[in-house]
């Protein structure tokens, strides 16, 4: 687990404050400062991240073929 602020921590803080969220997990791919992530979450929510990411991955895999026009035949 990464400890301390990530390279996109200031942006994560902005998103959390603007959305009035309890926490934020920000993943950046190909950003100005390279790839990275920042997480600002209470511990009880941090422990939920693996399950949330699994559900997101499942959704992406399920929707992927339709999004690329390669739906199952």
Please name which of 25, 32, 35 lies closest in space to residue 1, comparing C-alpha atoms.
25
The pLDDT, as a whole number, for residue 5 is 80
Q: Averaged over 7-33, what is the pLDDT?
A: 94
Q: Quote the pTM value.
A: 0.70
The count of C-alpha atoms lying within 13 angstroms of the C-alpha of 10, restricted to the half-sphere facing its C-beta, is: 2
The pLDDT, as a whole number, for residue 7 is 87
What percent of the chain clears pLDDT 70, i.e. is strictly above it? 88
The answer to whether residue 1 is domain-embedded is no
The answer to whether residue 71 is domain-embedded is no
The answer to whether residue 29 is domain-embedded is yes
What percent of the chain clears pLDDT 90, i.e. is strictly above it? 63
Confidence of residue 2 (pLDDT cuts 50, 70, 90): low
Give the number of domains in the chain.
1
The answer to whether residue 4 is domain-embedded is no
Domain boundaries, position 59? 9-65
The answer to whether residue 20 is domain-embedded is yes
């Amino acid at each position: 687990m990464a400890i301390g602020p990530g390279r996109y921590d200031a942006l994560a803080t902005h998103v959390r404050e603007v959305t009035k969220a309890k926490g934020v997990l920000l993943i950046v791919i190909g950003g100005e400062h390279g790839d990275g992530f920042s997480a600002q979450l209470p511990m009880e929510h941090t422990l939920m991240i693996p399950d949330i990411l699994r559900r997101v991955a499942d959704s992406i895999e399920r929707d992927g073929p339709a999004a690329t026009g390669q739906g199952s035949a």
